[in-house]
Structure 1
């Protein structure tokens, strides 16, 4: 017979197991997840979760051609803003930052007017932000106000005149930006709306990568700033062209050099060879040739004649006679002249 079990002993064993299970306190959980306040000796050492988040920062050297695009835009902007304001304007590219959209919202200087625009061919959006210093400066210049440095104006909303003038300024910036992208891709940046609150100008998710370009504009010795914010997804259709390395000045055309090159090419002398027929002859037979040996081509007067420039066939025609000279009447263009021109340019 089996011995009866001791209920008390069973309870004691279960009690021992219960005492081995330890519950973590809130302080220990915070320390495990690095949510606790950093100590004096651990200052500057981010926690595991913070390091995980910060490791997803955007690289800054993925689009080399974008620097060229905005350099060209600044050159165009100098001319456009001089015509817009009828005074001396100097635009300069301060910096180009790769960051996330929520970081841009935290660093925007208020008050400011933010223009939302659309990239029509890319089916996406971008922002153009103009700070108050540039707005007041342009207002004074366009409306004939004072040219000295204005006082700081806080606590008031922008007037309808200021908003309308800023809208025109943003359209000028967007037009120059479109022209800057022309050598890479045809795109039209069209103005959509004007916002005062950055939260109402949201065009992408807070954690999405963006490119912020900060431009300084000096008007009558007064400096304001404009920022262009382009989500990385907006540039995706032309990313393949933007990642290429820039190997020289490819924007614009030198009409003087083009006309000179065209003129010189038209004056170039080209040697043409009329080939009546081609045949293959054994080498042994060629070695037996002597003076007066006849070579039968087995062609008739209607056989086409090929006109070649070295080894490039250009035309086909028929042989005849004109003014007591043997001539070739061109009947067919072999459409290989472009290959010949490319070969001349390569040399």
Structure 2
């Protein structure tokens, strides 16, 4: 006979300890709208994404191209370098944007999706001063944040279109894509280009010229770059995206001097093994192909040309009719 135990199993954690871990209030206390700890567990900042090796090369190339473009725009040397490249939630990219920044929403025409470029206030201020003939300022000089004027917005749009053109050139070795400016915004809420919980590729490019510093941010949601995700996953060494024009020219030149063996298939016969074993030096095997019969000229097992059997100067010869199309070789 089995008796039931009167001992109750104690829980591993009491309800009060659970509430303390999640930051919730006990029974009878005012409930919080959403505990911070619980919010971090449910809506964690960690985003599952794939590493894109080619993306870093693309934005490094963008920084180099922008160095020349901005030099022509500012009429002065500009130090441009990629300060940061990371993948994070789209919702985490916008809180770091300053209140006086200008956000440019642009479209990738071939990908049929959007991205955002962020121009901070220092960059806008410095751009306006330089293009309007302003002189260098002392480092650390305080600036009062104010709404952007129409002149500042127009000059900044000129910079935005220049960067979008250079971004198009940077992606050219990977794929053909064109980036076009759609609109500019000053409030991040009106520059939403994807789901807040979705991952995005964020790049920050630093600019320095005439004791003035600035930064340009580019945000590309993963949904935007999905059409070229496989290309961005590739790994290339060097700065020429896996291609070397000098080596290609040398290889093409040497291929013309390569020696190959070309065979002419005159006839095919089926013999008994005993007949083959009885063959001796000096025996004559008549060909079953008369003059004018088709002959295949091949290199190894690959048929290259179609020819006709004939005789020239008392010797068997083959006159080439045409080159065999690679699409029809196996048919």
TM-score category, normalised to shorter length: 0.7 to 0.9
Q: Say if 2:168 and 2:179, in contact at 8 Å, map to a contact too.
A: yes
The alpha-carbon distance between structure 1 residues 252 and 128, as it changes in their structure 2 partners (threshold 3 A), is: farther
Q: Which residue of 1 aligns with 2:194?
A: 204
The alpha-carbon distance between structure 1 residues 327 and 56, as it changes in their structure 2 partners (threshold 3 A), is: same
Deviates most, 121-130 or 305-314: 305-314
2: CA distance between counterparts of 1:48 and 1:134? Answer: 37
The alpha-carbon distance between structure 1 residues 208 and 324, as it changes in their structure 2 partners (threshold 3 A), is: same
Structure 1: any 5+ residue segments left out of the alignment? 1-26, 38-45, 340-347
SS in 2 for 1:107: coil
> Residue 77 of structure 1 is aligned with which of 56, 66, 74?
66
> Residue 120 of structure 2 is aligned with which of 131, 142, 153?
131
The alpha-carbon distance between structure 1 residues 290 and 239, as it changes in their structure 2 partners (threshold 3 A), is: same
> Residue 283 of structure 1 is aligned with which of 273, 282, 290?
273
SS in 2 for 1:226: strand
Deviations 1:45-64 (A, max 9, x none): x9762342354611465323
State the 1:248 CA deviation.
5.6
Task: Map 1:30-45 to 2 at 5 A.
Answer: 31=20, 33-36=22-25
SS in 1 for 2:103: strand
Q: Which residue of 2 aligns with 1:242?
A: 232
Q: Say if 1:59 and 1:98, in contact at 8 Å, map to a contact too.
A: no
Q: Say if 1:204 and 1:231, in contact at 8 Å, map to a contact too.
A: yes
The alpha-carbon distance between structure 1 residues 274 and 221, as it changes in their structure 2 partners (threshold 3 A), is: farther
Q: Say if 1:60 and 1:97, in contact at 8 Å, map to a contact too.
A: no
State the 1:326 CA deviation.
4.7
Q: Say if 2:87 and 2:201, in contact at 8 Å, map to a contact too.
A: yes
Q: Which residue of 2 aligns with 1:40?
A: none
Q: Pick the structure with more helix per residue.
A: 1
Aligned residues: 304
1:112 aligns with 2:79: no
TM-score, normalised relative to structure 2: 0.80
Q: Which residue of 1 aligns with 2:258?
A: 268
2: CA distance between counterparts of 1:310 and 1:245? Answer: 35
State the 1:321 CA deviation.
4.2
2: CA distance between counterparts of 1:291 and 1:93? Answer: 77
The structure having more radius of gyration, on CA atoms, is 1
TM-score, normalised relative to structure 1: 0.77
2: CA distance between counterparts of 1:239 and 1:81? Answer: 29
> Residue 86 of structure 2 is aligned with which of 93, 97, 107?
97
The alpha-carbon distance between structure 1 residues 327 and 295, as it changes in their structure 2 partners (threshold 3 A), is: closer
> Residue 305 of structure 2 is aligned with which of 315, 330, 334?
315
State the 1:228 CA deviation.
0.3
2: CA distance between counterparts of 1:265 and 1:259? Answer: 10
SS in 1 for 2:88: strand
State the 1:146 CA deviation.
0.1
SS in 2 for 1:259: helix
The alpha-carbon distance between structure 1 residues 59 and 153, as it changes in their structure 2 partners (threshold 3 A), is: same
State the 1:154 CA deviation.
1.6
Task: Map 1:129-208 to 2 at 5 A.
Answer: 129-149=118-138, 151-208=141-198
State the 1:111 CA deviation.
1.6
SS in 1 for 2:95: helix
Deviates most, 210-219 or 51-60: 51-60
Deviations 1:142-164 (A, max 9, x none): 23220234743324222222211
State the 1:229 CA deviation.
0.9
State the 1:180 CA deviation.
2.2
SS in 2 for 1:314: strand
Structure 2: any 5+ residue segments left out of the alignment? 1-15, 27-34
Deviations 1:262-293 (A, max 9, x none): 22222333332222112333333222111221
